[in-house]
Structure 1
Amino acid sequence: MTFTLRALTQAVALGLVMGTASFAAQAEITLLKQDPQAGDPLSRLNFTVGGSIRPQFNNMTGDGDKGSYKRNGFDGGTRFRFAADYYLFDDISWISYYELGVNIPALFDWDHHYADGANNTSRRMLYTGLKSKTWGQLTFGQQNSVYYDVVGAKTDIWDYDMLAQAPGNGINGDYDGSYRSRKMLKYKNTFGDADVYASYLFSDNDYLPGNGLRYKRKGGGSLGVDYHLTPDLTWGTAWNYTRAEMRNPSTSGSKDYDQNIVGTALSWKPDSWTLTFGGGWYNNFLTTKKADVDNYFAGDAWGIEYLAGYTVPVGQYAVKSVMPYFMGDRLEYVSGRNYQRIDNGLGVTVQFDYGFRVDVEHVLTSSTDNLGDMTLVRLRYDF
């Protein structure tokens, strides 16, 4: 694996600097602690900040990514988050959350370490709402979809993941309702051992995929249930529906699509084990890779993801734990496109003191388009 020394030095140095400035490690930093006092409105506010700095290096076999910024070192998903909880009355609070994605190489203009045209920052989430232990939680804004919370998150554990689940594999997860959905009203409440979710997707602005066409979400909604079978075994099932239109401004042609994704996933964490499996069926959701409004989305496709890992506690030499794991996925189109992808690999996560972490993975890929195998290293500092 070929890495540039300069890229590694810059990434690690920045992580150390940001980490030092964070005052605490691997925990949310509480700037204001809620302690309601009569006549003091500010005492009702709980305000926390946190984040994750993630320099990363990817190396794919073959010539597919030769010279790629990902081989040189890139930002693997750095984000900073801010959360507020303001106590109103009884058990009701007003909550707000903002998560900012920062592409550090783009921000500092490090050539050959970010994609052409990449933004320095991006809004990952921004929502507000009300929370009650009795009545549940109701929020509006850009936030994790019901499908992701209930199904997708269970296998979003390793780095080279989310290659076969619905979130992130449609036209755009922020717009199609599958991932960090924009303009979404979301409700969650707990009844016994079941967490029940529902959401409504409002009409959104046009999304431009870069091929001359326009995608517009007209509306939609989701339902999901996360059932806690035992304290360490959870089974989630969710469905999302999106009404959408593909339009070609140059020809005035358009077509409406009813997009459906349904999935289920199990997460089991007995003792030191982490075992998870998830799968879904995607209708009019995955793209055909054709710039044609009448055939933009494939009729049907399915995908599965799985992981088995075992955490070994260490507790010395600044190493908290080591988790080796086996992971994989399979994505297959049933109609609309002849495509199949299968990934299987091994990885290890080393968790250090003070919120530092290293992930190393090697993944073997078999696909219709002959993608290469992947080896990656991701450094993390979480606070």
Structure 2
Amino acid sequence: MKKTLLAALLPAMLVAGTAQAATVYQAEDGSQVDVFGRLGFSMTNRTGGDNADGNARGRFDNRLGFGGAQTINDQMSVIGWAEYQIGAAEGANAGNDSFTARYVWAGVDMGNIGKVTFGRVASGLIMATDIADVFAASDVNLASQASVINSNATQVFRQDDTLQYQGTFGDLDVSAAYIIGNDRLKNGYNVAARYTFDMGNAGKLAPVVGYQRNTAEDNVKDAAQQNLDKNDFWTIGTRYYFNDLMLGAVYSEDKLSYKGNSDATKDKGYELTAVYDFQNDWVVRGGYRDYKAKTGSTTDRTMKDWTAEVQYKLTDRSSIFTSYVKRDGEDKSKASNAKYDLNQDYYHLGLRYEF
């Protein structure tokens, strides 16, 4: 099995944001400082709303992260990470041209016992969402209602004020987190677990389950948010690894409940993905998505996407990639803030460099 797929087996919750970080300082006691950066440019004809003109648009991509570890003793270290991005999908700052925090956290690594972190952490639920999040032109639909109650949440990938435990015990990866409330969120929590079965010559199978609940505050100043109750998200999925091939399947449900007689809104669906790494320089990816969003018994929105992507590695840290998405969806809600046309096919072409 190639190193690229072996790397994919690492717990996403332990490496998110730091997988490609370079150590720029290493002390004799094991303390270190790490730096990560990403530069990229892409073009796409993907546009939003009913006024889509289909013209290609360019987008600059820039990420910068830094952090490290300071040794306490042979078993424990103080750890931290801060990562910022231009055009990040982060709550109220989504898509703007200034640096916005993706991850900012600090904690303690206790070696074999696990680690505890606090801040805007990489959620343990990434173990599940990463099954769908394989494309360079990332467009993950899982847990899209999480930010309705918790406005600083980017789906379930990143949420402020999170106290999280993560641990790996043999082939089992576990995560549990408590989310401290804010002016709209009373509190929240999530749990996730993954077990990797090594089947020898038959490959590896890594099933994962995850759940999150966020509860709304009782006394919210914003009148439009006063009848919110809670958001429940759960997911189950798996990845299968065989030589240079990785297959994934994930199912999820995302329910937003209201107080009184208001109907709940419920998103549910599944995604299938495949990644094949061959000849060291080429990677091909494919996927299918099927989602439905309902308010009560009425279907408001459907998404049925086929995605194909090809990546060519110029170096270990730089790539050219192109993808095409065939969409057959519909948005009956006619929401004025609809981000994208759900019935528009689109392409994506980009160059990315990491250091």
With the length of structure 2 as denominator, give the TM-score of the two structures.
Answer: 0.79
Q: Which amino acid letter does the alignment assign opposite residue 165 of structure 2?
A: Y
CA distance in 1, matches of 2:145, 2:35: 26
Aligned with residue 38 of structure 2, among 45, 52, 57:
52
Q: Which amino acid letter does the alignment assign opposite residue 223 of structure 1?
A: V
Q: Are positions 1:181 and 2:159 aligned together?
A: yes
CA distance in 2, matches of 1:276, 1:253: 36
CA distance in 2, matches of 1:235, 1:197: 14
Aligned with residue 62 of structure 2, among 66, 78, 94:
78
Helix, strand or coil at the partner of 2:281: strand
Question: Identity rate of aligned residues, in percent?
Answer: 19
**Aligned residue for 1:91?**
75
**Aligned residue for 2:108?**
130
**Aligned residue for 1:368?**
330
Aligned residues: 315
The structural deviation recorded for 1:253 is 7.3
8 A contact 1:284–1:297 mirrored in 2: no
CA distance in 2, matches of 1:117, 1:156: 19
**CA, structure 1 residues 31+294, in 2 after alignment: closer, same or farther (shift >3 Å)?**
farther
**Aligned residue for 1:312?**
278
CA distance in 2, matches of 1:295, 1:73: 45
**Aligned residue for 1:347?**
309
**Aligned residue for 1:152?**
129
Which whole-Å deviations, capped at 9, do the CAs of 1:30-81 have from their partners, x for residues lacking one?
2111321xxxxxxx5200101211211111389743277xx33012x42111
Q: Which runs of 5+ in 2 are unaligned?
A: 1-18, 332-341
**CA, structure 1 residues 54+272, in 2 after alignment: closer, same or farther (shift >3 Å)?**
same
**CA, structure 1 residues 170+294, in 2 after alignment: closer, same or farther (shift >3 Å)?**
farther
**Aligned residue for 2:292?**
332
**Aligned residue for 2:249?**
277
8 A contact 1:330–1:342 mirrored in 2: yes
Q: Which amino acid letter does the alignment assign opposite residue 56 of structure 1?
A: S
Q: Which amino acid letter does the alignment assign opposite residue 217 of structure 1?
A: L
The structural deviation recorded for 1:169 is 6.9
Q: Which runs of 5+ in 1 are unaligned?
A: 1-25, 37-43, 105-114, 207-215, 286-291, 314-319
**CA, structure 1 residues 254+294, in 2 after alignment: closer, same or farther (shift >3 Å)?**
farther
Q: Which amino acid letter does the alignment assign opposite residue 232 of structure 2?
A: N
The structural deviation recorded for 1:251 is 5.2
8 A contact 1:163–1:331 mirrored in 2: no
**CA, structure 1 residues 221+27, in 2 after alignment: closer, same or farther (shift >3 Å)?**
closer
**CA, structure 1 residues 122+321, in 2 after alignment: closer, same or farther (shift >3 Å)?**
same
The structural deviation recorded for 1:347 is 1.2
CA distance in 1, matches of 2:292, 2:247: 23
Q: Which amino acid letter does the alignment assign opposite residue 303 of structure 1?
A: G
CA distance in 2, matches of 1:66, 1:162: 20
**CA, structure 1 residues 119+297, in 2 after alignment: closer, same or farther (shift >3 Å)?**
farther
Counterparts of 1:22-33 in structure 2, within 5 Å, are 27-33=20-26
CA distance in 1, matches of 2:254, 2:145: 12
**CA, structure 1 residues 152+200, in 2 after alignment: closer, same or farther (shift >3 Å)?**
same
Helix, strand or coil at the partner of 1:151: helix
With the length of structure 1 as denominator, give the TM-score of the two structures.
Answer: 0.74
**Aligned residue for 2:28?**
35
Helix, strand or coil at the partner of 2:77: strand
Q: Are positions 1:66 and 2:43 aligned together?
A: no
**CA, structure 1 residues 116+252, in 2 after alignment: closer, same or farther (shift >3 Å)?**
closer
Helix, strand or coil at the partner of 1:134: helix
**CA, structure 1 residues 227+354, in 2 after alignment: closer, same or farther (shift >3 Å)?**
closer
**Aligned residue for 1:16?**
none
**Aligned residue for 2:169?**
191
The structural deviation recorded for 1:311 is 1.3
CA distance in 2, matches of 1:360, 1:261: 32
CA distance in 1, matches of 2:222, 2:146: 26
Counterparts of 1:124-273 in structure 2, within 5 Å, are 124-147=102-125, 149-166=126-143, 170-171=147-148, 174-175=152-153, 178-204=156-182, 206=183, 216-230=184-198, 232-245=204-217, 249=221, 254-273=226-245
**Aligned residue for 1:21?**
none
8 A contact 2:266–2:294 mirrored in 1: yes
Moved more, 182-191 or 44-53: 44-53
Helix, strand or coil at the partner of 1:73: strand
CA distance in 2, matches of 1:263, 1:220: 17
**Aligned residue for 2:12?**
none
The structural deviation recorded for 1:305 is 1.6
The structural deviation recorded for 1:334 is 3.7
Query: Structure 1 stretches (4+) deviating beyond 6 angstroms?
Result: 292-297
Which whole-Å deviations, capped at 9, do the CAs of 1:158-192 have from their partners, x for residues lacking one?
03444431258753774377121110000011223
CA distance in 1, matches of 2:94, 2:256: 30
The structural deviation recorded for 1:297 is 8.2
Helix, strand or coil at the partner of 2:300: coil
Helix, strand or coil at the partner of 2:128: helix
Q: Which amino acid letter does the alignment assign opposite residue 222 of structure 1?
A: N
CA distance in 2, matches of 1:243, 1:176: 16
**CA, structure 1 residues 201+61, in 2 after alignment: closer, same or farther (shift >3 Å)?**
closer
Helix, strand or coil at the partner of 1:180: coil
**CA, structure 1 residues 262+117, in 2 after alignment: closer, same or farther (shift >3 Å)?**
closer
**CA, structure 1 residues 252+60, in 2 after alignment: closer, same or farther (shift >3 Å)?**
closer
